[in-house]
Amino acid sequence: MGWPVGHSLSPRLHGYWLAEHGIDGAYVPLPVPPDQFERAFRALPALGFRGANVTLPHKEKALALADSATPEARRIGAANTLVIDGQGRIEARNADAFGFIESLREGAPAWRAKERPAVVIGAGGASRAILVALADAGVPEIRLINRTAARAETIAADLGGPVKVMGWADRGRALAEAGLLVNATTQGMAGHPPLDLALDRLPPDAVVHDIVYVPLETPLLAAARRRGNPVVEGLGMLLHQARLGFAAWFGVEPKVTAALRAYVLAQP
């Protein structure tokens, strides 16, 4: 459920797993304009849905409308996964934190959460999920940087813990001694300008993770790769977060494989 939603790779992703496991089901895109979201949301049980994913701009509204929500979804302040029980009650969940940390661990197995600070650029909805994931993994200090400092300060106040806000002008200095850099903005996405960030102070062994996956190699990842930094592209977060919803809806634990990645990327 999103507006727009035609660009989403999720129908292809879940369709692959449905076919792989021989499940008689379907995963369909539901383009829902904001002024119709509540009506569409409440109609899901009557239409026979076991659940849904929710993307922009509906994630916060979905959390507010749900009959119940997981503690993690409430901490993040948004829902991206809905699970409908046999009585038609809708539970809001958020799998983005899980998807991020699983993608990071798969793509950079040598990364150790508790050893060094992390730097997160951006203070949108994805950033909140990433901050929760990193805090729960035991990162000692998370340096949050956003062009609008007030937005970052609000998130830091909400989440507390190791989140420390640094100014946009200090973004280069924030990279010193970091073990992880995450771009949680749309900068570098196709049609958007690249992230304005020099990597000079970033340690050569620090992991660079960009959650953008169109293109797979953003200017940030290309620059990091040239320096020799290990890099993690953004598709993994999408693939791994989908595992939790699929398991809840269909009772099967799906796998993220090379064949799945190739299939999703080969969409017509």
Radius of gyration of the chain (CA): 18
Distances (CA, A) of 261 to 17, 101, 107, 234: 12, 18, 13, 12
| 255 a catalytic residue | no
- Domains of the chain (ranges; CATH) run 9-96+236-265 (3.40.50.10860), 111-229 (3.40.50.720)
Binding residues for shikimate: 8-10, 55, 80, 96, 213, 241
Over the stretch 28-67, which tens digit does the pLDDT of each residue have? 999 999 999 999 999 999 999 999 999 999 999 999 999 9
> Using 50, 70 and 90 to split pLDDT, how confident is the model at 167?
very high
Pick from 54, 25, 111: nearest CA to 241: 54
For the chain, the average pLDDT equals 96
> Using 50, 70 and 90 to split pLDDT, how confident is the model at 257?
very high
* pLDDT in the model for residue 106: 97
* pLDDT in the model for residue 7: 86
Pick from 225, 238, 260: nearest CA to 96: 238
Q: Which amino acid is at 95?
A: A
Is the model's pLDDT at 268 over the cut of 80?
Answer: no
Binding residues: 8-10, 55, 80, 96, 122-126, 146-151, 211, 213, 234, 241
Catalytic residue among 59, 61, 114, 164: 59
46 alpha-carbon distance from chain centroid: 29
Over the stretch 190-228, which tens digit does the pLDDT of each residue have? 999 999 999 999 999 999 999 999 999 999 999 999 999
pTM (predicted TM-score):
0.95
